[in-house]
Amino acid sequence: MAKFLVQKSEPLNGEVYISGAKNAVLPLMAAAILCDEKCVMMDVPDLRDVEVMKDILTALGAKIDAPQTGTLEIEFPNITTNEADYELVRKMRASILVMGPLLAKTGRARVHMPGGCTIGARPIDLHLKGFEALGAQVIQKDNYVEAIAPEGGLVGESVYLDFPSVGATENIMMAAALAQGTTYIENAAEEPEIVDLANFLNKMGARIKGAGTDTIKIEGVKYMRGCSHTVIPDRIETGTFMLAGAITRGEILIRNVVPDHVKPIAAKLRECGVIVEMGDEGMYVVADRKPLTSTDIKTLPYPGFPTDIQSPFMSFLTTVEGSSTVIETVFENRFMHVAELNRMGANIKTEGNKALIRGGRGLEGAQVIATDLRAGAALVLAGLVAKGTTEISEIYHIERGYEHFVKKFKNLGANILRIDD
């Protein structure tokens, strides 16, 4: 199994270019199921999760080409099955996103309960509630879930989500795009990835309004044409590099950023004394001008502070003087990095969904485990400022979601090495 060896590094310095967003491209790829022609996607990151989604779509009958780096062409001459393979689906939770489009397009979808990061129970009840509201019959048996549309296809309806789930909003939006009549998703997720998906679907001929607000209106259409689309920059990768600059007290320029998408991260870093400024060339993060101070964060659905940046931010908070609290409200089991950071000498206590960080003690290298994708990134950040060497195992989690991770960090002066055991 491959590992990362991270050594205490000089303050990071230089430029980094942000890739297309993992969480945007996966639903876009699934949405290609709805389309009768070829869909072209640009700025597609080279990630393991993208490979898994390619395999899932290919098994469903897709013809996928990559004419050049970062470009994907997806076409479905035929949908050969409406069942997503267990071996593929168990690798990635986002594979559930094929369910809505398959159901809308073929009238039936059967998918194994998805896998992915172990950051909580992560049920799919809200996705299923949405399909049922559109008239589908949902059957759950032997770890499989099957949805069957009524004769004549799905029918538009109002769907209220108990929680603004990103995946459920995407799945229901895709299913409703080809339904008869109008669907309203209320208490919808407002994440930029939802807006990107709506823009993509609208280019294909869908009639979607309100994406990016808590109410999305979808007027069903009969046919979706091909289109081309550039994936939005990855706001979580952006946040990770903002924190890499901050934790090492460095000075970096981050290119290909949508500043609005990372507002809560920038606001919190500024509160701690980090300079975050947009210039003509991108976002400057400067953390070497004055001593930094503690802060409190609480994760929330967008536009609140992103849960995916909670663990990298916590690594940073271990390095500033004073006490900080972190409250996680989106996932119920997202503190697995705490034990690993404490092994590196951090002083973090948790109680339920609250963590108290007493910062400024100085970290030491240790053998730690990347328990999930973002926790893995958090440990790399900690390793950059810890005395000695930090050995991080189970890095396949990190490689699921960060493109050219080692190369980008090395370019900024980080001392990081990937080794195969």
Q: Does 317 bind ligand UD1 (CB under 6 A)?
A: no
- The residue from 35, 117, 227, 272 that is catalytic is 117
Of all helices (H) and strands (E), which one includes residue 85? none
Q: Which of 62, 244, 309, 330 binds ligand UD1 (CB under 6 A)?
A: 330
| Residue among 22 and 249 whose Cβ is closer to ligand UD1 | 22
Tokens for 286?
Answer: 């400067």
Q: Is 156 in the site for ligand UD1 (CB under 6 A)?
A: no
**Residue 260 makes contact with ligand UD1 by CB under 6 A:** no
What separation in angstroms does the CA of 391 have from each of 337, 344, 376, 395, 419? 14, 11, 11, 10, 10
| CB nearer ligand UD1, residue 331 or residue 402 | 331
In the complex with ligand UD1, the residue whose CB is nearer, 124 or 368, is 124
Whether 117 is catalytic: yes
Does 241 sit near ligand UD1 (CB under 6 A)? no
Residue 238 lies near ligand UD1 (rule: CB under 6 A):
no
Q: Is 371 in the site for ligand UD1 (CB under 6 A)?
A: no
Provide the minimum distance between the beta carbon of 342 and ligand UD1 in the complex, in angstroms, as a whole number.
Answer: 23
Report the nearest approach of ligand UD1 to the CB of residue 369 (Å): 19
283-312 residues near ligand UD1, rule: CB under 6 A: 307-308
- On the CB side of 252, how many CA atoms lie within 13 Å of its CA? 30
Q: Which of residues 177-236 bind ligand UD1 (CB under 6 A)?
A: 189, 193
Tokens of 158: 């109002």
CA 197, distance to chain mean position in Å, is: 14
Q: How buried is 158 (Cβ within 10 angstroms: 0-12 exposed, 13-18 middle, 19+ buried)?
A: exposed
Instruction: Report the residue from 33, 94, 231, 242 that binds ligand UD1 according to the rule CB under 6 A.
Output: 94
Please give the structure tokens belonging to residue 309.
């940046």
Mutual angle of helices 336-343 and 310-317, in 10-degree steps: 30
DSSP 96-160: GGGHHHHHHHHSEEEEEPP----SS----HHHHHHHHHTT-EEEEETTEEEEEPPTT--B--EEE
Rounded to whole angstroms, the Cα distance separating 131 from 100 reads 7
Q: Is there binding between residue 331 and ligand UD1 (CB under 6 A)?
A: yes
Q: Does 105 bind ligand UD1 (CB under 6 A)?
A: no
Residue 107 falls in which region: left (phi positive, over 0), alpha (psi -120 to 50) or beta: left
Give the burial string for 396-415 (b: 16+ CB within 10 Å, else e).
Answer: ebbbbbbbebbebbeebbbe
One character per residue 121-150, x = contact with ligand UD1 (rule: CB under 6 A) = xxxxxxx-----------------------
Looking at residues 9 to 28 of the shown chain, list those that interact with ligand UD1 (rule: CB under 6 A): 23, 26
Length of the chain as a residue count = 421
Contact region with ligand UD1 (CB under 6 A), list: 166-174, 227-235, 341-349, 408-416: 166-174
Closest to ligand UD1 by CB, 189 vs 221, is 189
Give the count of alpha carbons within 13 A of 109, CB side only.
31
Q: Which residue is nearest to ligand UD1 (CB)?
A: 167
Residue 370 main-chain phi, psi, to 5 deg = -80, 100
- Residue 175 lies near ligand UD1 (rule: CB under 6 A): no
Among 163, 293, 361, 388, binds ligand UD1 (CB under 6 A): 163
What residues line the site for ligand UD1 (CB under 6 A)?
23, 26, 93-94, 120-127, 163, 165-168, 189, 193, 307-308, 330-331
> Which active-site residues does the annotation give?
117
